[in-house]
Structure 1
């Protein structure tokens, strides 16, 4: 085999290898595009999730304030019930004194 035939053979092999590499590159680019699309969807979902989380945090702050107000209301009611219970005891003692005397 002379050198020209060897050069032609090597060039043919290189051409086949380049075609195979081109096919692999096309496949890789397609896969990369799919990955990019998935990343975009994930970014959109993350924005939606972050918005929902912000709303939940705002609602949690409002709920905490409401719980604090309810706690104060319950404490005031407990104080009033204590006053009413004291009045009830005084009335019972007065009735006992008046009717048993």
Structure 2
């Protein structure tokens, strides 16, 4: 009878330990899921921001090309319209 009580006590302790481990694991799993949710939301925001930046850079590149072309055209017109300075005698 004493051995049975001792065995029941040990089993009760083991059951309590298993319950405690499950609770700890569930808490850790919940925290991990929360972190993953936050990371996923941040990744979505970052992806959207990168897309906007990419579009901005493409627009900027187009504007730089336009300005470069306009500068080239103005130089051609300046060469036609503006007189060239006289050559200096050496």
Shorter-chain-normalised TM-score: which range?
A: 0.7 to 0.9
Aligned counterparts of 2:82 and 2:61: Cα–Cα separation in 1: 31
Which is worse superposed, 55-64 or 25-34?
25-34
How far off its partner does 1:72 sit? Answer: 0.7
RMSD: 1.7
In structure 2, the partner of 1:50 is 33
Q: How far apart are the structure 2 equivalents of 1:93 and 1:24? A: 101
Structure number with the higher helix fraction is 1
| Count of aligned residue pairs for this structure pair | 84
Find out whether 1:26 has 2:20 as its counterpart.
Answer: no
Is it true that 1:81 corresponds to 2:40 in the alignment? no
Structure 1: any 5+ residue segments left out of the alignment?
A: 1-17
2:49 is the alignment partner of 1:66: yes
Q: How far apart, in 2, do the equivalents of 1:88 and 1:26 lie?
A: 91
1: CA distance, partners of 2:15 / 2:83: 97
Deviations 1:66-86 (A, max 9, x none): 111111111100100000110
Q: Distance in 1 between matches of 2:5 and 2:83?
A: 112
Q: Name structure 2 gaps, 5 residues minimum.
A: 85-90
Query: Larger C-alpha radius of gyration, 1 or 2?
Result: 1
